[in-house]
Amino acid sequence: DTKQAAKEQKVIKVGTEPTFAPFEFQEKGSKEFTGFDMDLARAIGKKLGKKVEIQNMGFDALIPALNSGNIDVAAAGMSITDERKKAVTFSDPYYTSGLVVVVTKDNDGVKSIKDLEGKKIAVQIGTTGADKAGKVPGAKVTSFNTNAEVFLELENKGVDAVIIDKPVAQYYLIKEGKDKDKIVGDTMDAESYGFAFKKDSKLAADFNKALAELKKDGEYDKIYTKWFGK
């Protein structure tokens, strides 16, 4: 057993889809992964005495990559859902979120999701936002690989609305979409983000332990404040 432990990998392979600021993104012209999830994953790796290596992949490729062993953990603002729990093991929740509708500023016809019946909606492929859009009666839903494309489609008037996670919409509005877009209606579907692992991976328990320590020693709060303010 001790021999086995010594052989245990010293590297944690983390998969992410980095068009989800402020959770995971790359600054223009940089290959560096930055954001709340990235800081948290690195802090957890440090606690566990392991090196964290981050890989860029499609959001819909994360769960298959976990199951094939290509990555050890998905750190991607992934909402803990019953459906996903059938395929992967989640860590304890580390962030509380929800979905919102985003439209262009000049759109006075859409005040909430109820006004999206029969309308065109853009979403990121494989997300809870895509599931939500799929339930709107008569809506024509277009899925994109990245959220950059999702917002571009909205601003090019290819769609009437976007359904996406609230903190990501808020950050986008502050950084880029301030004069172009707005959030309408209430926050829908309370969701919690968790790190995802191959089913029954032992790493999940290690992550939970490290996460609890980070919450206790104030490091989690420091990272939270860095990205979301007080």
Q: Is 24 in the site for ligand ARG (CB under 6 A)?
A: yes
Q: CA-CA distances (angstroms) from residue 229 to 25, 98, 157, 223?
A: 18, 18, 32, 9
**Shortest Å distance, C-beta 124 to ligand ARG:** 6
Q: Is 36 in the site for ligand ARG (CB under 6 A)?
A: no
- Both tokens of 198, joined, read 């191959």
CA distance 228 to 6: 39
Stretch in the footprint of ligand ARG (CB under 6 A) among 26-34, 120-128, 179-187, 204-212: 120-128
Q: Tell which positions 61-100 bind ligand ARG, by CB under 6 A.
A: 76-79
User: Which residues are CB-contacts of 36 (< 8 A; sequence separation ≥ 6)?
Assistant: 22, 23, 24, 95, 223, 224, 226, 227, 228
Q: Which C-beta is closer to ligand ARG: that of 104 or that of 127?
A: 127
What track of x and - describes contact with ligand ARG for positions 161 through 180 (by CB under 6 A)? Answer: ----x---------------
Q: Is 59 in the site for ligand ARG (CB under 6 A)?
A: yes
Residue from the set 91, 104, 124, 143 that interacts with ligand ARG by CB under 6 A:
124
Q: How far apart are the first and last CA of the chain?
A: 45
